[in-house]
Amino acid sequence: MNEWITADLFETEASLTAKIRQVADPLLRDRNALLPTWLDREPSQFFPENRFVVCGSVCRQEIRVLAQLGQLVAIVDDELRKQSPTLFNVPVISTQRWIEMARSDNRLISCLLVATQRATHHFLRVCLQHRLRFLTPLQFATLIQSTPFKDQADGRFFHYGYRFFDFALRNVDALIRTSELYGDTYSRISHLSTVLYRLTWNPKYLEAIAVGHGTSGFNAYLFDQAFLSFTENEVYIDAGAFTGDSIEAFLEAVGGRFKHIYSFEPSAANNVAIRERLRRLQDSYVKQLRSAVTLSQKGVWSHADNLSFSYNIDYQEAGTTSSPLSAHLLASGMRPDAPASVSGLAIETVSVVAIDEATAQDATFIKYEVEGSEMEALRGSEQTIRRNRPKLAIAVYHKPEDLLVLPHYIRELDLGYRMGFRQHSALICDATYIYCTTD
């Protein structure tokens, strides 16, 4: 990649590596280096003894947590203020009013709980111009670790939060070396930028590399044609089919021409949705879908078993329903704290199976998005992988260690796979995939 062309858009591998070490080295010596220099209270005393303003209204769950920990006096959102004077009975104020309040109260602390680079720049400019005391999202989450909410909080930042930061910091050297597994410059830059985001939560590192979250087109989520090409003889395994959205995207990618689809999804309600989707889609394709799609109401794992399965817990975030706690097998370890800490958790026992045992081991393409069970699913399909060397699309964002262990597992198979890395979401460190092909 010609650096003189890309310098204004992308960091180089060398500069990203240097920045990662610049961030990590002082924190490895002293985690308190992350905290603001003006902090004059023990973290455990910090929230009860201060007054707070939240900058931005998107991170609703984090706002709820802060309101329970300290005195939340206002939420700054110029657009929301035009629609509603309050949120959670807290006044919604303009930027101008925020400046006036903060300048007249030197004990007021502004929490910058926003996820985009544009919003971050806006609030930081105000804080720096007017010398306001503020917390970045990572500083806020770090201080939360000293409260009873450290294992209970969920939300945009908390969900992919401190555990991901902590793992990245403790494994920074191994994560830097992992970039060498990827064969193209953009993948290596994307991997290193993702590591730097996890160490800083600075949105510019995701926004610079994200290729889009759409399920169609050249950089399609799950079916990125920078790495994957398809024929009329694809045998597609959808591990974690959800409601069939990825099956629909696959049909679009292959133009309805394929050999067979295996769908694995443990939720009974989701399987009903898949069937309804296939009925709707049938009018778009000549091929009879019903006979060419095998639906399995089971999860995927390294072996056949019966395991505890939790359903999504939804909350309202900025007017839309989000699922911070995605449906997952508890044994996956995706959320080790969830059963004890998340109220209303719905758990039932579901059957799981190894892909090697549940198919004819004839797959040409396998997608793994199984909410933290990716490693177990890979182990349960190793015979298929060794036999057919299918194309692979593997989610590497559900657990902190996935960014490290999953690509190394593929490399250790020693099957000649070329690996690529893509970050599809610009807002948060999900929709992160490695694509593997022998083409």
Cα separation, 159 vs 324, whole angstroms: 6
Q: How confident is the model at residue 341 (pLDDT cuts 50, 70, 90)?
A: very low
The pLDDT > 70 percentage for the chain reads: 90
Cα separation, 43 vs 397, whole angstroms: 29
Q: How confident is the model at residue 43 (pLDDT cuts 50, 70, 90)?
A: confident
Given a cut of 90, is residue 396 above it in pLDDT?
yes
pLDDT of residue 99: 96
Half-sphere exposure of residue 94, counting CA atoms within 13 Å on the CB side? Answer: 4
Order the strands of the 305-310 sheet from edge to edge: 299-300, 347-353, 305-310, 328-329
Angle (nearest 5°) at CA 245 between 295 and 157? 120
Given a cut of 70, is residue 418 above it in pLDDT?
yes
For range 248-269, the mean pLDDT: 96
pLDDT of residue 71: 94
Residue that wins the pLDDT comparison between 92 and 332: 92
Do the beta carbons of residue 64 and residue 88 sit within 8 Å? Answer: yes
The DSSP element (H or E) to which 366 belongs, if any, is: strand 365-368
For range 311-335, the mean pLDDT: 60
| Residue 178, φ and ψ in degrees, nearest 5 | -65, -25
pLDDT of residue 156: 64
Half-sphere exposure of residue 421, counting CA atoms within 13 Å on the CB side? Answer: 29
Given a cut of 70, is residue 337 above it in pLDDT?
no
Write the DSSP symbol of residue 183: S
The amino acid occupying position 172 is V
Distances (CA, A) of 149 to 119, 141, 157: 26, 10, 13
Angle (nearest 5°) at CA 237 between 235 and 386? 80
Given a cut of 70, is residue 319 above it in pLDDT?
no
pLDDT of residue 109: 96
Domains annotated for the chain, with CATH where assigned, are 35-153 (3.40.50.720), 196-437 (3.40.50.150)
Given a cut of 60, is residue 31 above it in pLDDT?
yes
What is the average pLDDT value for the chain, to the nearest integer? 89
Q: Which residues pair with 320 in a beta bridge?
A: 317
The pLDDT > 90 percentage for the chain reads: 71
Cα separation, 281 vs 124, whole angstroms: 48
Given a cut of 50, is residue 323 above it in pLDDT?
no
pLDDT in tens, 171-222: 999 999 999 999 999 999 999 999 999 999 999 999 999 998 777 778 888 9
Cα separation, 50 vs 350, whole angstroms: 47
Write the DSSP symbol of residue 38: T
By CB atoms closer than 10 A (0-12, 13-18, 19+), residue 129 is exposed
pLDDT of residue 200: 94
pLDDT of residue 199: 95
Given a cut of 80, is residue 339 above it in pLDDT?
no
Give every CB contact of residue 188 below 8 A, 6+ residues apart in sequence.
13, 179, 180, 182, 421
Given a cut of 90, is residue 56 above it in pLDDT?
yes
Q: Are strands 293-296 and 260-264 parallel, antiparallel or unpaired?
A: parallel
Nearest to 209 by CA among 192, 224, 229: 192
Nearest to 140 by CA among 60, 16, 47, 51: 47
Given a cut of 70, is residue 344 above it in pLDDT?
no
pLDDT of residue 336: 65
pLDDT in tens, 424-439: 988 888 899 999 999 8
Given a cut of 60, is residue 5 above it in pLDDT?
no
pLDDT of residue 108: 95
Confidence (pTM): 0.92
For range 80-87, the mean pLDDT: 92
What are the helix (H) ranges across 37-145? 43-46, 60-69, 78-83, 95-104, 117-130, 137-144
Cα separation, 137 vs 59, whole angstroms: 10
pLDDT of residue 40: 78
Write the DSSP symbol of residue 49: T
pLDDT in tens, 113-156: 998 899 999 999 999 999 999 999 999 999 988 888 776 555 66
pLDDT of residue 318: 40
pLDDT of residue 343: 45
